Amino acid sequence: KLVALMVGASVLATGCIKETTQLNGAATSEQVGESPFAADGMIASIPAILITNNIYGGEYHDDFGYPSLLIQTDHAIGEVFPSNAYSGGNQYYDRFQYWHYQFSLGPTGICSLVWYNYYQFIKSTNDLISVCGDNAALAEQRGIAKAYRALYYLDLARLYDPLYAVSTERPEYQAALATIEGLTVPIVTEETTEDLAKNNDRATREEMFNFIFADLEDALVCLEGYAQEKPFYPTEAFIHGLYARAYMWLGGEDFVNDGLNGELPSGLAAYELAKQHAEKALQFSGGAIMTEDQWTNTTTGFNTVVPAWIMSAVYSSETIYSNLHQHSAHLVPEAMYGYGQYTSLGVSKQVYDNLSDTDFRKSLIKGPDTTYNDFKNSTALDEESFSLFAPYTFFKFRPGSGAQTDSTVGGAVALPLMRNEEMYFIQMEAAYHISGDAAARDLLIQFMANRDSNYNCFRTGEEVLNEIIAQKALEHWGEGIVMYDMKRLDMGVKCGFKGTNYYVEGRHNSDGRLPWWNYCIPQGELERNEGITFNNPDPSESLKPVQDKDLQ
């Protein structure tokens, strides 16, 4: 009830503008410091808004808070998509098709959903930071808010950082990118007034990451020795994990000698710091890796907090807006009240074919020749329902308590926001850059023993890096992790190949990053905030998908 009250009381922020009235008459830091109940309520509002925020009042079914934003990024790289193989998949039921089919992504398109969600999340953290101030009694509350704020700004920095990409259909695209190099998003803090917000330009990469690191540094001080009371409260492990993500971004080749002016580490120095922080995250978290049963359990698989999860989002029946405004309605095939039964969201045929039969994750993917008897230990569906799904559907996420038809029970799930496994993959990649392919390959083989007892890797050179990212993508399918890696590394995609199970609209092939990984600022924000001088160019329909006759 307290969580619901705090969410109901939250005022929707438009764009970057902060109301000038201090928290609409909310309690002062002294008052909150005298009332643990009030302080707990202020903290609870942050993770509650994360899973309940709805910008458009139910108009769009892909608008259900932070988890919906994570799904978008996996669609943007073609990692999660509706499989059309043989039968079952229907692209028109996929509410996230914009991000895969590259349409309506300009300033007047769907990008507003991303922008306004993130800045509403940021407002919830700014409100608490403002109330806490320097009150020593509220240090933990401030640390929690600053860790969340760092999470949000780190996402925004990486989404909007306009890195070079090639558009074959928009010749002006590359030229437009050259004029905005190194710009991220406006920084809005607890000190930002309405007047300042109306003239608030995009922060440079240096400004943004210095701001993020300052928040993380303060959060570490505030949360030193803090024992996680609830799975959605940040800890020292989570903060080090955010440091690791940030330094991995700065390690990318695009950021070496490009105007950092010594303010931030880049290249190998950044990768070394990423490795160190990943190791610290594992040290604080205990380093557990999800087991086969935790992956494959048909009732609790990827819907229940386990020791490997550093940070989680947790839904309850009371926080579910509708049967369609929830994670399970989209990424859970067995949630028969949602879209999953129609879309058959799954993996690429190439991903499936490259998986060893001894990799237990393959047992959760319906193969082209998989019968119900083959799969019945991996699903709670009956044979008739199972037959509805296209080959390559991934049964990774399960409905809450295994409920297939009750949306308030099936939607009551926990979702990982950061897992130990991500930290192990950061270690691997950092080792590749710092020490070479052999060191990275050894770490990869060591980790993969937890997924496939027969796994081995004989690749060398850049192929080791490609294998690390491929395994990381499958491991974190649907968790919104890997687009940032592919964008940072200038990696391409191959969705148009002979025998592909992608719909034609999503058959993109590229040698490097895709243009729509550089997100646009919505027109509404440009009109309210005159300080924004340059927007990222519109990436919509910037590539032609591969047609049937050209598949190779």
Q: List b or e across 481-493, with b for residues whose CB sees 16 or more CB atoms inside 10 angstroms.
A: bbbbbbbbbbbeb
Does the pLDDT value for residue 12 go beyond 50? no
pLDDT, mean over the chain: 91
Q: What is the pLDDT of residue 55?
A: 86
C-alpha–C-alpha distance, residues 51 and 315, integer Å = 7
Query: What is the per-residue pLDDT for 9?
Result: 31
pLDDT score at 108: 96
Question: Whose structure tokens read 């992790």?
Answer: 481
Evaluate if residue 215 carries a pLDDT over 70: yes
Q: Average pLDDT for residues 456-468, to the nearest whole number?
A: 97
Q: Quick check: 86 pLDDT over 80? A: no
Check residue 58 and give its pLDDT: 77
Q: What is the pTM of this model?
A: 0.93
Q: State yes or no: pLDDT of 19 exceeds 80.
A: no
pLDDT greater than 70 at residue 26: no
- Does the pLDDT value for residue 228 go beyond 50? yes
- Residue 263 has a pLDDT of 77
Per-residue CA distances from 444 to 355, 362, 431, 469 (Å): 15, 18, 10, 11
Percent of the chain with pLDDT over 90: 85
Q: What mean pLDDT do residues 144-170 have?
A: 97
Q: What is the pLDDT of residue 171?
A: 86
pLDDT band of 255, cuts 50, 70, 90: confident
**Taking 80 as the threshold, does the pLDDT of residue 454 lie above it?**
yes
d(CA 477, CA 475): 6
Across residues 47-63, what is the average pLDDT?
Answer: 89
In contact, 209 and 250? CB cutoff 8 Å: yes
pLDDT, position 32: 53
Determine phi and psi for 418, rounding to 5 degrees: -155, 130
pLDDT-derived band at 89 (thresholds 50, 70, 90) equals confident
pLDDT of 36 higher than 60: no
Question: Average pLDDT of 192-214?
Answer: 96
Q: Which residue has the higher pLDDT, 202 or 319?
A: 202
Nearest C-alpha neighbor of 486 from the set 68, 69, 78: 78
User: Residue 258: what pLDDT?
Assistant: 53
- What per-residue confidence (pLDDT) applies to 6? 32
Residues 409 and 400: beta-carbon distance below 8 Å: yes
